[in-house]
Structure 1
Amino acid sequence: MICMNKYRTKSCGEISEADIDKEVRVAGWVENIRDHGGVKFLDLRDQYGVLQVVVHDETLLENVNKECTVTISGKVILRDEDTVNPKIATGTVEVEAAFLEVLGKCRAALPFEVVTSKETKEDVRLKYRYLDLRNPKVHNNIVLRSNIISYLRQQMTEMGFLEIQTPILSASSPEGARDYLIPSRKHKGKFYALPQAPQIFKQLLMVSGFDRYFQVAPCFRDEDARADRSPGEFYQMDFEMSFATQDDVFAVAEKVIGDTFKKFGGGKTVSPAPFRRIPFAESMLKYGTDKPDLRNPLEIVELSDLFVETDFKPFRGRCVRGISVPDCVKQPRSFFENMLKFAESIGMKGLGYIEVLDDGTYKGPIDKFLTEEQRAELVRRGKLEKGSVIFFIADDKAFAPQLAGQIRTELGRRLNLIDESRFELCFIVDFPMFEIDEETGKYIFTHNPFSMPQGGMDALLNKSPEDVLAYQYDIVCDGVELSSGAVRNHDLEIMKKAFEIAGYTEEDLKTKFTSLYHAFQYGAPPHAGMAPGIDRMVMLLTGEENIREVIAFPMNSNAQDVMMGSPSEVTEEQLREVHIKLR
Structure 2
Amino acid sequence: MSETLVLDRLDDWRRSHDCGALRASDVGSEVCLMGWAQFRRDHGGLIFIDLRDRGGLTQVVFCPEGSAEALERAHVLRTEYVLAVKGRVRPRPEGMANPGMPTGEIEVEITEFKLLNTAATPPFPIEDRIDASELLRLKYRYLDLRRPKLAGNLILRHHAVQSIRRYLDGLGFLEVETPVLTRSTPEGARDFLVPSRINNGSFYALPQSPQLFKQLLMMSGFDRYYQVVKCFRDEDLRADRQPEFTQVDIEMSFVDEEQIMGMAENMVRTMFKEAMDIALPDVFPRMTYADAIRDYGLDKPDVRFGLKLVDVTEVVRGSQFQVFAKAELVKGIRVAGGAALSRKEIDDLTEFVKIYGAKGLAWIKIKEGEWQSPFAKFLSDEERAGLAEAFGLEVGDIVFFQAGAAEMVNTALGYLRIQLGERFSLIPEGSFAPVWVTDFPLLEYDPEAKRFAAKHHPFTAPQSGHLEKLAEAPGQALSRAYDLVLNGNEIGGGSIRIHDRATQKAMFAALGIEDQEAEDKFGFLLKALEFGAPPHGGIAFGLDRLIMILAGAKSIRDVIAFPKTQKAMCLLTDAPAGVSAGQLRELGIKLRSRDKDKDKA
Instruction: Indicate whether 1:260 and 2:260 are aligned.
Output: no
Greater Cα offset, 487-496 or 19-28? 19-28
Deviations 1:290-345 (A, max 9, x none): 1111112110011112222211122111134333435326x4251x5412431134
* 2:207 aligned to which of 195, 199, 202: 195
In the alignment, residue 567 of structure 1 is paired with which amino acid?
Answer: P
In the alignment, residue 343 of structure 1 is paired with which amino acid?
Answer: T
Cα distance in 1 for partners of 2:52, 2:449 equals 61
Question: For the structure 1 residues 418 and 5, does the alpha-carbon distance in structure 2 shift closer, same or farther, using more than 3 Å as the test?
Answer: farther
User: What percentage of residue pairs aligned between the two structures are identical?
Assistant: 39
- TM-superposed deviation, 1:90: 1.4
- TM-superposed deviation, 1:387: 4.6
Map residues 518-557 of structure 1 onto 2, 5 A cutoff. Answer: 518-557=527-566
In the alignment, residue 112 of structure 1 is paired with which amino acid?
Answer: F
Cα distance in 2 for partners of 1:461, 1:352 equals 38
Q: Is the contact made by 2:467 and 2:477 (CA closer than 8 Å) also made in structure 1?
A: no
Cα distance in 2 for partners of 1:136, 1:368 equals 58
- TM-superposed deviation, 1:73: 1.0
Map residues 409-428 of structure 1 onto 2, 5 A cutoff. Answer: 409-428=418-437
In the alignment, residue 211 of structure 1 is paired with which amino acid?
Answer: D
The equivalent of 1:351 in structure 2 is 361
Deviations 1:347-380 (A, max 9, x none): 2454333445567x75545454444543443344
Question: For the structure 1 residues 121 and 60, does the alpha-carbon distance in structure 2 shift closer, same or farther, using more than 3 Å as the test?
Answer: same
Question: For the structure 1 residues 191 and 455, does the alpha-carbon distance in structure 2 shift closer, same or farther, using more than 3 Å as the test?
Answer: same
- TM-superposed deviation, 1:285: 2.0
In the alignment, residue 489 of structure 2 is paired with which amino acid?
Answer: V
Q: Is the contact made by 1:63 and 1:105 (CA closer than 8 Å) also made in structure 2?
A: no
The equivalent of 1:563 in structure 2 is 572
Cα distance in 2 for partners of 1:460, 1:350 equals 37
Question: For the structure 1 residues 432 and 13, does the alpha-carbon distance in structure 2 shift closer, same or farther, using more than 3 Å as the test?
Answer: same
Q: Where has structure 1 moved over 6 Å in runs of 4 or more?
A: none
The equivalent of 1:18 in structure 2 is 25
Gaps of 5+ in 1: none
- TM-superposed deviation, 1:407: 2.2
In the alignment, residue 18 of structure 1 is paired with which amino acid?
Answer: S
- TM-superposed deviation, 1:44: 0.8
The equivalent of 1:99 in structure 2 is 112
Q: Is the contact made by 1:294 and 1:424 (CA closer than 8 Å) also made in structure 2?
A: yes
The equivalent of 2:495 in structure 1 is 486
Deviations 1:205-229 (A, max 9, x none): 0011111111111111112221111
Deviations 1:164-184 (A, max 9, x none): 111111111221111111111
Map residues 223-372 of structure 1 onto 2, 5 A cutoff. Answer: 223-230=235-242, 232-265=243-276, 267=278, 270-273=280-283, 275-325=284-334, 327-328=336-337, 331-334=339-342, 337-347=344-354, 348-356=358-366, 364=373, 366-372=375-381
Greater Cα offset, 336-345 or 195-204? 336-345
- TM-superposed deviation, 1:528: 0.7
Q: Secondary structure of the equivalent of 2:407?
A: coil
Cα distance in 2 for partners of 1:399, 1:476 equals 21
Instruction: Indicate whether 1:136 and 2:120 are aligned.
Output: no
- TM-superposed deviation, 1:475: 1.3
* 2:233 aligned to which of 209, 215, 221: 221
Cα distance in 2 for partners of 1:452, 1:144 equals 36
In the alignment, residue 99 of structure 2 is paired with which amino acid?
Answer: P
Instruction: Indicate whether 1:49 and 2:56 are aligned.
Output: yes
The equivalent of 1:40 in structure 2 is 47
Deviations 1:450-474 (A, max 9, x none): 1111135743367411111111222
Q: Secondary structure of the equivalent of 1:12?
A: coil
In the alignment, residue 516 of structure 1 is paired with which amino acid?
Answer: L
Q: Secondary structure of the equivalent of 1:321?
A: strand
The equivalent of 2:8 in structure 1 is none
Q: Is the contact made by 2:163 and 2:275 (CA closer than 8 Å) also made in structure 1?
A: no
Q: Is the contact made by 2:88 and 2:108 (CA closer than 8 Å) also made in structure 1?
A: yes
Cα distance in 2 for partners of 1:5, 1:214 equals 43
In the alignment, residue 363 of structure 2 is paired with which amino acid?
Answer: Y
- TM-superposed deviation, 1:538: 0.6
Cα distance in 2 for partners of 1:473, 1:227 equals 24
The equivalent of 2:526 in structure 1 is 517
In the alignment, residue 241 of structure 1 is paired with which amino acid?
Answer: M
In the alignment, residue 353 of structure 1 is paired with which amino acid?
Answer: W
Deviations 1:115-166 (A, max 9, x none): 1475211122112111111111111110010000000111111122111111
Greater Cα offset, 195-204 or 280-289? 280-289
Greater Cα offset, 116-125 or 564-573? 116-125
Deviations 1:550-583 (A, max 9, x none): 0011112221112122112222222222222222
Map residues 108-119 of structure 1 onto 2, 5 A cutoff. Answer: 108-116=120-128, 118-119=130-131
Deviations 1:12-60 (A, max 9, x none): 2222222222322211111111011221111111121211111123322
**Cα RMSD between the aligned structures?**
2.2
The equivalent of 2:5 in structure 1 is none
Deviations 1:387-416 (A, max 9, x none): 543322112333111111122122212111
Q: Is the contact made by 1:442 and 1:502 (CA closer than 8 Å) also made in structure 2?
A: yes
- TM-superposed deviation, 1:83: 2.0
The equivalent of 2:595 in structure 1 is none
Q: Secondary structure of the equivalent of 1:86?
A: coil
Instruction: Indicate whether 1:405 and 2:418 are aligned.
Output: no
Instruction: Indicate whether 1:448 and 2:457 are aligned.
Output: yes
Q: Is the contact made by 1:471 and 1:486 (CA closer than 8 Å) also made in structure 2?
A: yes
Q: Is the contact made by 1:343 and 1:407 (CA closer than 8 Å) also made in structure 2?
A: no
The equivalent of 2:35 in structure 1 is 28
Question: For the structure 1 residues 352 and 563, does the alpha-carbon distance in structure 2 shift closer, same or farther, using more than 3 Å as the test?
Answer: closer
Q: Is the contact made by 1:321 and 1:401 (CA closer than 8 Å) also made in structure 2?
A: no
In the alignment, residue 202 of structure 1 is paired with which amino acid?
Answer: K
The equivalent of 1:211 in structure 2 is 223
Q: Secondary structure of the equivalent of 1:32?
A: strand
Question: For the structure 1 residues 18 and 276, does the alpha-carbon distance in structure 2 shift closer, same or farther, using more than 3 Å as the test?
Answer: closer
Q: Is the contact made by 1:117 and 1:132 (CA closer than 8 Å) also made in structure 2?
A: no
Deviations 1:59-80 (A, max 9, x none): 2216422111111112222211
In the alignment, residue 24 of structure 2 is paired with which amino acid?
Answer: E
Question: For the structure 1 residues 189 and 285, does the alpha-carbon distance in structure 2 shift closer, same or farther, using more than 3 Å as the test?
Answer: same
Question: For the structure 1 residues 293 and 60, does the alpha-carbon distance in structure 2 shift closer, same or farther, using more than 3 Å as the test?
Answer: same
The equivalent of 1:86 in structure 2 is 99
Cα distance in 2 for partners of 1:27, 1:124 equals 28
Q: Is the contact made by 1:172 and 1:192 (CA closer than 8 Å) also made in structure 2?
A: yes
Cα distance in 2 for partners of 1:576, 1:324 equals 60
Question: For the structure 1 residues 293 and 458, does the alpha-carbon distance in structure 2 shift closer, same or farther, using more than 3 Å as the test?
Answer: closer
